[in-house]
Structure formats: C-alpha cells, structure tokens
A and B are shown apart, each in its own frame.
Chain A
Amino acid sequence: MESTLRFIRGEIMGENTLNFRSTGIIGTEELRKLGLLPPEERLAKGPVAIVECPELIPCNICVDACHLKAITMEKIIDIPKVDWEKCIGCGTCVALCPGLAIFVVDLSKPDKALVTVPHEFLPAPKVSEEVWLLGRDGRRLGKGRVVRAWERNKTWVVTVEVPKELAMEVRAIWVEK
C-alpha cells in the first residue's frame, strides 16, 4: 500500500509513468506499462521494433512507413501500437520516425544483441568500425561494432553489436571524428 502511494506521488524514480516528463529518459518499466515493449519470447525470436513514443503526438508517419502494416493507430494522436508478430524489424520506421523514437532490438543471437538506432551526426558511420554505445542519458556504455548502416533523407539507420545485457540500454551511437 505504502509503495503504491509513493508511486502515485511520483516518489519512486523510474517507476512513475510520468517520470520521463521531468528527466527526458524513459525506463523499460515505463515502456512495459505503456504496452510499448515486446514480450521476452518475441524478443528472443529475432529483430523487432521498439517504439519509445509515450505521448499523444499528432503524428502517424510510422503507420504509413510500415509496409507490413505492423504499426496501427485509430486516431492521429494515439500511441503507436506495434503488432510484434507482423513486425520483422526491418528498420524502415527507424529511418522515417520524425521523433527519432524507434529502435530495433534483436536478441536472437547467442552471444551478442543487435540494436538498431537512428543517427544524424557527422561523420557517417561505416560498417565494421567500432563506435561508442550511448545510453538514454548519454553515458558511454562501451564500444560496439557497426554491422549495418544505411541512410534515408539524411537519417542513418545503424545496427551495432551490443552485449546482451545492454540491449535495452543502448539507444544511440557516437562516431569518433
């Protein structure tokens, strides 16, 4: 009871669903509560999109971006709903999302996870080079190898190898000049 009250009052950091409005960082718990996180079993099967878009933004670009119609919305201000079974983690929505809020996580490999992030900085990332892996707070969590990089309207979509335990932490890369 006490913890529920503290949660409602926003005293438990990282658990209050609105905490991201004061930090600019969303936790996996918050994503799960909003229905934005695929179930573990789906994550283990292969690449899947994670839409970190928790607010009612009047925007439906991702819905049109998806050729498989895996992302749906009833009204333009709805939170995107991903059909995890339809999504193949192709990353098209990563390139097109105006909020740069979509990522692809692949936990199907035995040793490493693959995380796909949008990137709009110079220099352009190159396949097989090592880049910094950044957390949602910008912290450098280590280095990882780029396995795929492609560009659309100046947004790079970069897939990097990440230690499995960091698959839900790494959300950006930084390429050393």
Chain B
Amino acid sequence: MPCTRNLLSDRRIWSHPILTFKRGRKVKFFFEGREVEAYEGESIAAALYAIGVDIFSYSIKLKRPRGAFCMIGKCSSCFMKVDGIPNTRTCIEPVREGVKVERQKGLAEIPTNGGESDVEDEEVLETDVLVIGGGPAGLSAALATAKYGLKTVIVNEHFKLGGQLLKQTHKFFGSKDLFGGLRGFQIGEELSRKVMGNPNIKVLLQTVAYGIFRGGWVGLAGKNKLYRVKPKAVIVASGASENFLTFPGNDLPGVMGAGGAQTLMNEYGILPGDEVLTVGSGNVGLIVSYQLLQAGAKVKAIVEILPEIGGWFVHAAKVRRYGIPILTRHTLKAVWGRERVEGATIVQVDEKFRPIPGTEKDIECDLVLIAVGLTPDTRLFAQAGAVMRWVPEAGGPVPLRTRYLEVSIPGMYIAGDASGIEEATTAMLEGEIAGLSVVTKLAGPKAEVIERREKLLKFLWDEYRASPLMARAKAGKESVTVSEEEMEEIRKWNPPFVSFGVR
C-alpha cells in the first residue's frame, strides 16, 4: 500500500446510490507551493484529502505525522497555515482560488502580516434572540422564535447550515410530523431553506461565538468582522465532539472519527479509505459502516468491547446482511503503519475487559474509525459560569437546566447534543422547546405556544424516550433537569455572573 500518495490521485466518489454530489467550479490553490485543484464548496481539508494528502501536520514535539480526525471544527487535528494564518481549522475553511496552504511542523509561528485576517469592522448587533449553532437544534430553535416575531440571529462556525444532518444519508426514525422517513440531509436542506427564507432570521456563517461577557454581551468573530450582541435570550446548540481512544498508533493518519469519515464521504463525496476497521458498534459505528459500503469501501469488521451490540438491531442487521462481521468482546490493541494506517491488531477481551493473550488478530486496512461516543460541547456554559454536573450518561459535563431548557444563567438556554448526547430527532425537539420557552419569556405566555411546548415535552419524555434502549440517555437528562423552583434555589446558592433579558 502506498504510504504517501502523489497528489494526483482522486479519492472523489463519482457515483453513489443515494447522493448526487453537486460540485462547484474547479479552482486552483497551493499546497506547500505546489498548484493543486479542488472544487468550490469543498473545505480545504476535504480538498487535500481528495488528492491524496494524509498528513495534515507534524506533531509539536516528536514531529510525528498527524492526520485529520473530526472534520467538523471540533478538534485541532487539521490545523494548517492558510494564507499565512497558523492554526486554521481547514475542515471548516472553504477552499478558494489561489489560497496558500502549508503544513505546520511543530509549534506555529505567530503571523507577522495580518493580511486577510484584518478586522475590517466591528458591529453592534441588535437582536432579540441569539442562537449559537446551525445544526438541527439551532435551526429548529430559530424557526420557533422567528415564528412568533422575535428577531433572531444564528451564528454558525461552518460555512454551511445544517450541522451534522448534512452527512446523514440514512432515513430517520420517528413519525411523519417529525421528519421521520426522510434522509438526514433532506431534513437539513429543508430546515436551512426555511431559515434562509425567514425575514426574522439573520444567519452569520463562519462566525464563532467566542465568549459571554459582563452585562449580557456576547462576542462574535466572523472572518473579517467582529460583532457585539446583547440579546434578550441566548440558545446554545453547539453540538458535540467525537471521543478518542488510547492505543498504540492512535495518532497515525488514517485513524479517524467515524463522523469525520462520514463528513468526507457524504458531504464532500470523498472516499475516506478503501479497507476499514470500525471500533464501536453504537448507531454511529453501524450507520457509518453501512454508508462506507454504499460509497464503495470494504468494511473488514466492527469491533465492540461489550458482549452486546451498542446500536439498534435493525442498523446491525443492515451491515450483517452484507457480510460485515460485528466482533463483540473485542477491542483494538494497536494500529500500525508508516505514514498512514496499514493495519490493526484486534484482541478478544474477558468479562472484565482484559485482553486475552493469544487471541490477537491482524487486520489489514487503511482506515480505522473511532466510534466510541461523543462529548457535549458545553464550553460556552462553563465560561459563562453556568452550574454544571459531570454526567456519564450525557457524555460529559453538562449544565443543569429546567424542563424548559433554561440553565442557571437566566435567559440562557440549551438544546441538542450540547445538552447531553442523544440524536438529531431529539435535538430538533429540544430546539423547538427551547425556542418556545424563549417566546414565552420574551413575548409573554400565549396559550398556543404553551400548548405546543407541553405537547412536545410530553412526547419527548413520555413517548420518544420511553424505549428501554434510550433509558441510559433519558436517565442522564433526568439527572440534570430540575424544576423551576429548584433552579431558583440553585441560583440563590450560585448567583449568576451574567443574565440575559429583562428580569
């Protein structure tokens, strides 16, 4: 297997059973001084991966080759120098004509000429509601607030709206009125279309909410512009990041988040690998393995350390029917290769998850996908001083919140995976609930709004989450959901540093 590819290879997928990739016009850009091609609409990381670049940087201390991992702007594995600016997240940076991209070797140098990064302007934004995050939860929240006439701003780090819906090619469970039966990307497109057509919503793409400040100010940083906003309410739907695993060789290019691989293949139409080993049999591991098969890759096996498959049976049955083995009671021992994954060693474990010597098996592959769960992105809550608790069932530290999704910072709301890991349908439900709560708070209680919110809450808690297979996630959310009175008590003991809206 060639370790370093020659930049002439094309990993793009040109025919696919589900997707039609609408590629923009061809553009030329520079990778380490060499002119290369890409299609408009691709991220720099995707464009580089497409032409065979595996190594995105060299590690700071030992200069080990490093590949890209999450592909959604949550980790630092794709940091590169872009037009002189170091530590640019190339996975959420669109490729453009003439852009100069270089790998970083060790610590980056501080940029000496500002160039394109010059701040042209600073603007104070007037809005009722600020929604942070443009995925299923954020979009649903914004549609709910805008519907009742509240001026709403959505900030989104990515250059596209839709979040992780855009890479979901499978049809969603649920019911017809919850977009059930549609493929995830179709839901993403529909929500984005509704948002873009709503006169009450303003969308800021490629913009980061970098902090919450005294007096209820939020700082936003766009590409060439800074914003200050003092909204009457903030809804944070910042999503989650993929978990990593410890094993020898885990930093080799080709060890990738399962979701990262899904972004490459389904959003950009780029095959992340030819022969794949998936670690983890939760729904993400199962679904991504099936989708890799659809994209033309061979999935050698899915390993699962537990005695049971993690995800839904029907997703497992889908991969089993095409001969993909699911090896329960197995784990990854090591990954090996020179400058890219060339294979992995798996091993059986006993009932205490200890590797059983002598059961090692080598699997040749060029891609090892890590699908071992997600961690909520709750940094803005932590920074704002919201009262938080570490909840393993939710995936990490999450803020306490009321049933109406308000956290201990008055006027600050949470929705989606940031509130505890579940999936996109619950994210859309939570988004709308948070949005309606903001409407109730800012526009006064309206019977119609309260009724809709109660209906959604009842459905979410008593019906949707009633399945035994969702018991763990439900327990996690229950443990951080408090009554309004309890929240007042929490605020007494932990006076908020900041609040939004008039109280």
Contact = CB atoms under 8 A, between A and B. Distances in A.
Q: Do A and B come from one complex?
A: yes
Interface of A: 20-26, 52-61, 64-65, 75-77, 96-101, 120-122, 124, 134-139, 153-155, 171-172, 174
B180 A61 contact: yes
A30 B312 CA distance: 16
Given A25-B320, A137-B320, 7 more contacts: A59-B173, A98-B170, A98-B173, A100-B318, A122-B17, A138-B321, A154-B17
Shortest beta-carbon contacts, A-B, top 3 = A138-B323, A99-B314, A24-B316
Contact of A122 (B16, B172, B318, B323): B16
A19 B319 CA distance: 17
B176 A61 contact: yes
Interface string B12-39: 0001111000000000000000000000
A52 to B, nearest CB: 7
Given A22-B309, A64-B175, A121-B294, A53 B180 contact: no
Given A77-B467, A138-B324, A154-B17, A24 B319 contact: yes
A59 B15 CA distance: 30
A60 B324 CA distance: 28
Q: Which of A24, A75, A121 has the most CB of B within 10 A?
A: A24
Contact of A136 (B309, B315, B320, B324): B320
A137 B322 CA distance: 7
Contacts of B321: 134-138, 171-172
B464 interface: yes
Contacts of B176: 61, 64
Given A101-B314, A120-B17, A121-B293, A61 B173 contact: yes
Contacts of A155: 171
A41 B175 CA distance: 33
Interface of B: 15-18, 170-176, 180-183, 293-294, 296, 307-309, 312-324, 326, 328, 425, 463-470
A24 B318 CA distance: 8
B463 A58 contact: yes
A172 B321 CA distance: 6
A74 to B, nearest CB: 10
Q: Which of A55, A65, A76 has the most CB of B within 10 A?
A: A76
B372 to A, nearest CB: 18
User: For the complex, would chain A's binding face be called helix, strand, loop or mixed by DSSP majority?
Assistant: loop
A75 B181 CA distance: 17
A60 B320 CA distance: 24
B173 A101 contact: no
A58 B308 CA distance: 20
Nearest to B183: A153
Contact of B317 (A64, A98, A136): A136
Contacts, number: 135
Q: Which of A20, A65, A155, A171 has the most CB of B within 10 A?
A: A20
Given A24-B326, A100-B318, A58 B15 contact: no
A167 to B, nearest CB: 16
Contacts of B328: 22
Given A25-B317, A120-B294, A121-B294, A57 B175 contact: no
Contacts of A53: 314
B175 A60 contact: yes
Nearest to A21: B308
Contacts of B316: 24
Contacts of B175: 59-61, 64, 76
A76 to B, nearest CB: 5
Nearest to A151: B17
A63 B172 CA distance: 15
Contacts of B320: 23-25, 136-138
Nearest to A75: B463
Contacts of B307: 22
A122 B464 contact: no
A56 B173 contact: no
Given A22-B309, A99-B173, A100-B314, A134 B323 contact: yes
Contacts of A101: 314, 317
Q: Which of B182, B316, B465 has the most CB of A within 10 A?
A: B316
A55 B323 CA distance: 22
Contacts of A52: 314, 317
Contacts of B313: 20-21, 24, 26, 54-55
Contacts of B17: 120-122, 124, 154
Contacts of A54: 313
A138 B181 contact: no
14 contacts: A25-B320, A26-B317, A53-B314, A55-B314, A55-B467, A56-B466, A58-B470, A76-B174, A76-B175, A98-B172, A98-B181, A99-B173, A100-B314, A174-B322
A171 to B, nearest CB: 6
Contacts of A65: 181
Nearest to A64: B176
Given A53-B314, A55-B469, A76-B463, A21 B309 contact: yes
Contacts of B15: 122
B18 A120 contact: yes
A37 to B, nearest CB: 16
B317 to A, nearest CB: 6
A77 B464 CA distance: 7
Contacts of A120: 17-18, 294
